[in-house]
Amino acid sequence: MLSFSRLLLLLAALTTALMAGLFYSWSVSVTPGIGRLQDAAYLKAFQEMNRAILNPVFLSCFMGTALLLPAATILHYKEVMRPRFWLLAGATLCYLIGVMGVTMMGNVPMNNSLDVFPVETASLEALAQKRASFEGPWNRLNTIRTVCATLSVLLVVLACMGQEER
């Protein structure tokens, strides 16, 4: 039977992997795909995707990981700190700083700015300027999130592979 700390660790691994997969899929398929669109279509598609992603399933994984990783780390804290604790601490820091921090301080403000941009009535010049100020920076921030989420998954998997600590 799974202990509570082991169950929490597995749930943290699952949600971390789901988030890494989400950022990875955006990096290798979604943004390159919509990057082929004309400016107005690109901006409108991004607006709609940003609106669609704000749903309970996404938010439960995104925020859940930010709760599950620290909780799993704390449950593996011992007087003599073992490798599992340090791996989970690293995964937690990677996720909280490189995913949550980058998202909240970078991607979300950019998404909010794009959300109020009047794609339908903007001039061709305004569309081109908005895209130029959005696309590259947003993609760079998403690459950071992808790398940090993937590193978090790797660290959690390594923690899961270690022997059960007593």
> Is 166 a member of any domain?
no
Percent with pLDDT over 90 in the chain: 88
SS3 annotation, the chain: CCCHHHHHHHHHHHHHHHHHHHHHHHHHHHHHHHCCCCHHHHHHHHHHHHHHHCCHHHHHHHHHHHHHHHHHHHHCCCCCCCHHHHHHHHHHHHHHHHHHHHHHHHHHHHHHHHHCCCCCCCCHHHHHHHHHHHHHHHHHHHHHHHHHHHHHHHHHHHHHHCCCCC
Banded pLDDT at 29 (limits 50, 70, 90):
very high
| 97-114: average pLDDT | 98
User: According to the model, what pLDDT value does residue 5 have?
Assistant: 87
The number of distinct structural domains making up the chain is 1
Q: Report residue 70's pLDDT band, with 50, 70 and 90 as the boundaries.
A: very high
What range does the domain containing 42 cover? 4-161
